């Protein structure tokens, strides 16, 4: 077994190895010397980056892909029980390890810092990973998105800090035992796994309960769900709680966020002193993520002013307000936002960064989320000047009778939004070209394959106006 590897993970097979969370763990294991293999539904740049590290990546799922010497099969909650590779693993008695357990094993012997919350996790985790790397601390990290290239979502570092995105969607964040935990917000989401907001509170309480004795919880003072969680856990004797935000009672108070084009200048007070620093992404939402990252890093002993300066080196994550390009005077930006709060935050950030109109191409993600939050999604789209709403991206779910994009469209129109349905993705580029004018910004938004539409929109804009035959 390669040095430093957890037992049973020296020859792992990942089902769905191309996924954001799975590929990161596979990458760290490969960097530690494991003989990594896996499969995915389709080839990708992520798969290619893993092959470059020596991993074997099969395309398609087949029981024959499991090697004779496979030590464990790693799965996420998205893998169905009838997956042929999973079925074969159980038949052969090969240990089946959940993704979160594999990540927890990799954290052993480090100083773990886990970032949780209904939204903002990837951005905040990335801010910390980039900043700590800039300071030469070489942290290990596992992020739910790529920084600027395939494979940049994870790294096996030589430093003592391990920064990890902690996923609440399937309760897998209960596996971790962080020295510092961040909770950005607590809201009702992931309706397939949580029946009520009370269940979500209980789940986050369990996560906070996993913080090591003497550890620190960094938590928002602005979000009501986070404030409720603080009330529930604050009396724990062996836990230090630090709140941050614009609220007057925040331990680290955000006094001002000043837009500077596609950057923001943030002024905070902590320990009785004012500090102003720059964040290289727009909007108040991302500025508060940066403050959470700052407080978390300082809680691990990173010098305050060094970390504040290093935060400027973070320039974004793929799909988190990622500029895809510009054509005909129109910028095209991609957003992973799929929860109403995220949607509103990104639209407000873009409103402060551009002078023209904001045109949205929105793809709802999951039938269950649309059923529960479709009204709020429609209301969020009222912050745009005009929106096209695609059909629901199902991901792992089966359709729910009566749940379609029309729920969002109706709610949007009731809120005064200019919103229209568009069922065919191959018509998006032409539709946008007929709407956009120089100075406008087009925002492709959603957690599904809407991200693939940006290049087509840019190509169509670059081709110029359509001139029908005379």
- State yes or no: 134 annotated in a binding site: no
Identify the CA nearest to 280 among candidates 259, 256, 296, 307: 259
Q: Can you say how many angstroms the Cα of residue 427 is from the centroid of all Cα atoms in its chain?
A: 28
- State yes or no: 118 annotated in a binding site: yes
Percent helix, strand and coil across the chain, each to the nearest 5: 35, 25, 40
User: Number of helices and strands (H, E) in the chain?
Assistant: 14, 21
- State yes or no: 444 annotated in a binding site: no
In three state form, how does the secondary structure of 317-349 look?
Answer: ECCEEEEEEEECCEEEEEECCCCHHHHHHHHHH
Identify the CA nearest to 458 among candidates 345, 361, 336: 361
Identify the CA nearest to 32 among candidates 163, 158, 159, 164: 158
Per the rule left: phi > 0, alpha: psi between -120 and 50, beta: everything else, 22 is alpha
Question: Catalytic residue numbers?
Answer: 121-122, 165
- State yes or no: 46 annotated in a binding site: no
Q: CA 83, 84, 85, 86 torsion: positive or negative?
A: positive
Q: How many CB atoms lie within 10 A of CB 60?
A: 11
CA distance readout (Å), 64 to 47, 70, 86: 19, 12, 11
- Under a CB-based contact definition with an 8 Å cutoff, are residues 134 and 310 in contact? yes
* Angle subtended at Cα 119 by Cα 453 and Cα 152, rounded to the nearest 5 degrees: 60
- Under a CB-based contact definition with an 8 Å cutoff, are residues 439 and 467 in contact? no
Identify the CA nearest to 17 among candidates 82, 104, 72, 99: 99
Q: CA 343, 346, 349, 353 torsion: positive or negative?
A: negative
- Under a CB-based contact definition with an 8 Å cutoff, are residues 165 and 331 in contact? no
In three state form, how does the secondary structure of 32-82 look?
Answer: CCCCCEEEECCCCHHHHHHHHCCCEEEECCCHHHCCCCCCEEEECCCCCCC
Residues 6+ away with beta carbon under 8 Å from 291 = 244, 245, 252, 254, 266, 268
- State yes or no: 122 annotated in a binding site: yes
Convert 449-468 to b/e letters by CB count within 10 Å (16 or more is b): ebbebbebbbebbeeeeeee
Identify the CA nearest to 17 among candidates 59, 72, 69: 59
Per the rule left: phi > 0, alpha: psi between -120 and 50, beta: everything else, 366 is left
Q: From the annotation, which residues make up the binding site for ATP?
A: 117-123
The binding site comprises 117-123
């Amino acid at each position: 077994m390669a040095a430093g590897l957890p037992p049973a993970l020296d020859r792992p097979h990942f089902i769905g190895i191309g996924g954001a969370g799975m590929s990161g763990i596979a990458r760290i294991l490969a960097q530690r010397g494991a003989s990594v293999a896996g499969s995915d539904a389709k080839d990708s740049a992520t798969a290619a980056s893993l092959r470059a590290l020596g991993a074997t990546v099969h395309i398609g799922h087949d029981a024959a892909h499991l090697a004779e010497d496979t030590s464990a099969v790693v799965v996420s909650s998205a893998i169905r029980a009838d997956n042929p590779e999973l079925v074969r693993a159980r038949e052969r008695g090969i240990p089946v390890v959940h993704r979160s357990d594999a990540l927890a094993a990799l954290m052993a012997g480090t100083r773990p810092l886990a970032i949780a919350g209904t939204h903002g996790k990837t951005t905040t985790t990335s801010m910390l990973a980039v900043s700590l790397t800039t300071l030469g601390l070489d942290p290990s990290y596992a992020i739910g998105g790529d920084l600027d290239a395939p494979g940049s979502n994870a790294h096996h570092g030589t430093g003592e800090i391990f920064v990890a995105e902690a996923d609440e969607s399937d309760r897998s964040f209960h596996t971790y035992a962080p020295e510092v935990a961040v909770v950005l917000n607590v809201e009702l989401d992931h309706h397939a796994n949580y029946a009520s907001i009370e269940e979500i509170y209980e789940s986050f309480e369990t996560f906070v309960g996993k913080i090591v004795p003497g550890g620190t919880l960094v938590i928002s003072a602005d979000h009501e769900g986070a404030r409720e969680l603080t009330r529930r856990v604050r009396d724990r004797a062996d836990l230090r709680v630090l709140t941050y935000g614009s609220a007057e009672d925040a331990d680290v108070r955000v006094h001002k966020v000043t837009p500077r084009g596609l950057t923001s200048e943030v002024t905070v007070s902590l320990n009785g002193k004012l500090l102003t620093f720059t964040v290289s992404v727009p909007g108040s939402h991302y500025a508060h993520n940066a403050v959470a990252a700052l407080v978390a890093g300082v809680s691990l002993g990173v010098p305050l002013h060094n970390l504040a300066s290093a935060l400027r080196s973070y320039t974004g994550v793929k799909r988190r307000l990622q500029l895809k390009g510009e054509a005909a005077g129109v910028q095209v930006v991609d957003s992973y936002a799929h929860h109403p709060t995220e949607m509103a935050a990104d639209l407000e950030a873009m409103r402060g960064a551009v002078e023209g109109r904001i045109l949205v191409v929105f793809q709802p993600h999951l039938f269950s989320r649309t059923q529960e939050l479709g009204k709020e999604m429609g209301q969020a789209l009222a912050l745009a000047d005009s929106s096209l709403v695609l059909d629901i991206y199902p991901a792992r779910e089966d359709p729910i009778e009566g749940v379609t994009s029309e729920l969002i469209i109706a709610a949007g129109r009731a809120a005064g939004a200019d919103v229209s349905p568009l069922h065919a993705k191959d018509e998006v580029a032409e539709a946008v070209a007929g709407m956009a004018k120089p100075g406008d910004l087009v925002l492709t938004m959603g957690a599904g394959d809407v991200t693939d539409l940006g290049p087509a929109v840019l190509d169509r804009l670059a081709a110029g106006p359509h001139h029908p035959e005379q």
